[in-house]
């Protein structure tokens, strides 16, 4: 069964609450007994939030009003502890749609990073689906596990998180020809193309998330070279918000522009030869050495220090423990209420 956090009802201890202040700034807190939210615009005691319905307004000690709402998945992702760069909500939404992640699907994800995309994939596959995530670094895996558990309230039963290289570990976790979708979010996805082809069902889909044009080109050529996939399609997603107030309607000065490229391709049946395209753009000759000069590996990928990762992992695991405790308390409360109702019914 898949874990699902409470989506409605009054706020309880352990719930996450998004407080929006007078200037529109959002703060995400976890309700704890004796806890106090501090700001230069006054304080809000956590106990004043507990028991209120979603969408209530709380007044701070200085008289400022704060709107209290349960954070959306996108809100949580943008504020959760990070070990690695996250997949932005705009890209996660496109991955779920372009990869056609459906309820009941078996999905492979590598690497898991901080767990942002895993949350969207778990929602999409539903309780009957399965998500198998892979991550090379223990620290990143700890952060991701904490974030997923924290948001959902418990660790999902239909989610496995394997620490290790996808090429080596995938055959022991997912049988060949049984995966519906494979999502690759890593530095060198072209190294995993053969393993992906073996894992996917005929007609299955691989979606690759990369940051640079050279990664995009090299992965596309690797997919073509296998002869096992349709011709890959690539895109990027840009989001620009608008200011709309009366007659003042204009695009905002800032936008979420390039974060990454998406590359998708479908798995062909064994022995199938893809029909040649009538027109295909010519490309200059290049070698792996040429491309490597432009990849993040050669340029020096910026990674967080081990000390920072350990701290981030502790924060994520602490939030997860509080979320699990809140889920257990809510389940116990519901059981008590049901027992009391049954007793009243029998008495009547």
* pLDDT value of residue 283: 55
The answer to whether the beta carbons of residues 22 and 41 sit under 8 Å apart is: yes
Cα dihedral value 253, 256, 257, 263, nearest 10: -160
Distance between CA 208 and CA 262 in Å, rounded?
6
* Bridge partner list, 135: 163
Query: How far out from the chain centre does Cα 305 lie?
Result: 22
Average pLDDT over residues 153-172: 95
Average pLDDT over residues 106-115: 94
Phi, then psi, of 121 in degrees rounded to 5: -65, -40
* pLDDT value of residue 96: 97
CB hemisphere CA count around 9 (13 angstroms): 10
Average pLDDT over residues 38-65: 92
What is the pTM (predicted TM-score) of this model?
0.80
CA nearest 97: which of 70, 118, 121, 67?
121
Residue 299 has pLDDT above 70, yes or no: no
**Average pLDDT score over the chain:** 87
**What 3 state SS string does 127-154 have?**
CCCEEEEEECCHHHHHHHHHHHHHHHCC
Residue 255 has pLDDT above 70, yes or no: yes
65-69 vs 16-20, strand pairing mode = antiparallel
Distance between CA 58 and CA 268 in Å, rounded?
57
* pLDDT value of residue 309: 76
The token duo for 284 is 């200059």
- pLDDT digit string (tens) for 52-95? 999 999 999 999 999 999 999 999 999 888 888 889 999 999 99
């Amino acid at each position: 069964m898949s874990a699902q956090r409470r989506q409605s009802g009054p706020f309880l201890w352990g719930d996450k609450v998004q407080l929006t202040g007078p200037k529109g700034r959002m703060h995400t807190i976890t309700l704890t007994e004796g806890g106090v939210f501090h700001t230069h615009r006054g304080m809000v005691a956590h106990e004043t939030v507990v028991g209120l319905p979603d969408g209530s307004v709380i007044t701070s000690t200085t008289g400022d009003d704060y709107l209290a709402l349960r954070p959306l998945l996108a809100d949580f992702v943008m504020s959760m502890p990070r070990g690695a760069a996250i997949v932005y909500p705009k890209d996660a939404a496109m991955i779920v749609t372009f990869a056609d992640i459906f309820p009941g699907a078996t999905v492979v994800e590598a690497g898991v990073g901080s767990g942002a995309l895993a949350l969207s994939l778990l929602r999409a596959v539903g309780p009957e689906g399965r998500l198998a995530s892979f991550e090379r670094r223990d620290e990143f895996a700890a952060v991701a596990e904490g974030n997923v558990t924290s948001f959902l309230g418990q660790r999902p039963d239909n989610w496995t998180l394997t620490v290790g290289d996808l090429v080596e570990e995938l055959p022991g976790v997912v049988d060949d020809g049984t995966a519906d979708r494979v999502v690759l979010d890593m530095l060198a996805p072209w190294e995993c193309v053969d393993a992906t082809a073996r894992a996917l069902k005929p007609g299955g889909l691989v979606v690759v998330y990369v940051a640079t044009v050279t990664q995009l080109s090299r992965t596309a050529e690797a997919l073509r070279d296998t002869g096992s996939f349709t011709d890959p399609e690539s895109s990027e997603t840009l989001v620009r918000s608008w200011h709309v107030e009366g007659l003042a309607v204009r695009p905002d000065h800032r936008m979420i522009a390039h974060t990454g490229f998406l590359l998708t391709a479908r798995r062909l049946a064994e022995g199938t030869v893809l029909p040649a395209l009538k027109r295909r753009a010519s490309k200059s000759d290049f070698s792996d050495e040429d491309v490597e000069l432009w990849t993040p590996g050669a340029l020096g990928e910026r990674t967080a220090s081990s000390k920072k990762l350990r701290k981030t992992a502790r924060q994520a695991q602490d939030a997860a423990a509080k979320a699990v405790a809140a889920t257990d308390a809510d389940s116990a409360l519901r059981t008590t209420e049901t027992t009391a109702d049954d007793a009243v019914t029998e008495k009547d």
